[in-house]
Chains A and B, each alone.
Chain A
């Protein structure tokens, strides 16, 4: 069974750094893109960026380029989303998800999701 398990809730102060994680299991971690999606409180879904663990290719949304960093460690089948200096506006729930593949073709849509990591940034 494919599973993505994310790290737990975080409460941080503005200006602090943060790194959250997403551990994949039940499949070959290197062979599927992982995406990070943000959901602000009571709002919709926003694509932040993707990483392909096989060769560490990364794509960022223009809205998040330079604001966050996406990375992965194949040895522990885990993807990461990192901030160096949080702002209150970074609060929200962050989901990771795995791309969907069928009949040897893969697409940038997502059929397995993590449970979400709530992040609260407040003074």
Chain B
């Protein structure tokens, strides 16, 4: 099983500031990495696939980067509606795995 580790567990950011979230894989997943946003009481929403491609309708302030084992999700200018938990997921191996999540709080 490929283990996905996200850091930090919680991130407090002021509105308008940059938020940087990390995801590490226990072995290479090439670029087969997705990011999801989950707001309280809602199902997850796909943000990024292929490590860096935004899904349809996702604002340009969300960007993804990385390959292999190290990945980053950046929110360039945090908005109040970005309060959520963010999960990474690898799909390189048929046994898909999710990271433990990073909770983004508004400072």
Give me the interface of A with B, judged by CB distance under 8 Å.
Answer: 35, 44-47, 59, 61-62, 95, 97, 100, 107-111, 113-116
Q: Which of B9-33 contact A (CB under 8 A)?
A: 32
Decide if the interface of chain A is mainly helix, strand, loop or mixed: strand
Q: Is the CB of A44 within 8 A of B95?
A: no
From the candidates A59, A108, A109, A114, name the one contacting B46 in the complex (CB within 8 A): A109
B: number of interface residues (CB 8 Å): 23
Complex: A46 Cα to B100 Cα, angstroms = 9
A116 B91 Cβ-Cβ under 8 A: no
Asked if A111 and B46 sit within 8 Å, CB to CB, the answer is yes
Residues of A close to B45: CB separation below 8 A: 113
Residues of A within 8 A of B96 (CB): 35, 47, 108-109
Are A46 and B98 interface neighbours, CB within 8 A?
A: yes
| Residues in B whose Cβ lies below 8 Å from that of A45 | 36, 38, 44, 87, 89, 98, 101
Asked if B98 and A47 sit within 8 Å, CB to CB, the answer is yes
Closest CB of chain A to B26's CB: distance in Å? 16
Most buried by A among B36, B95, B96, B101: B96
One digit per residue, 1 when the CB lies within 8 angstroms of any chain A CB and 0 when it does not, for chain B 33-61 equals 01010100001111001000001000000
**Residues A110 and B98 in contact, CB atoms below 8 Å apart:** no
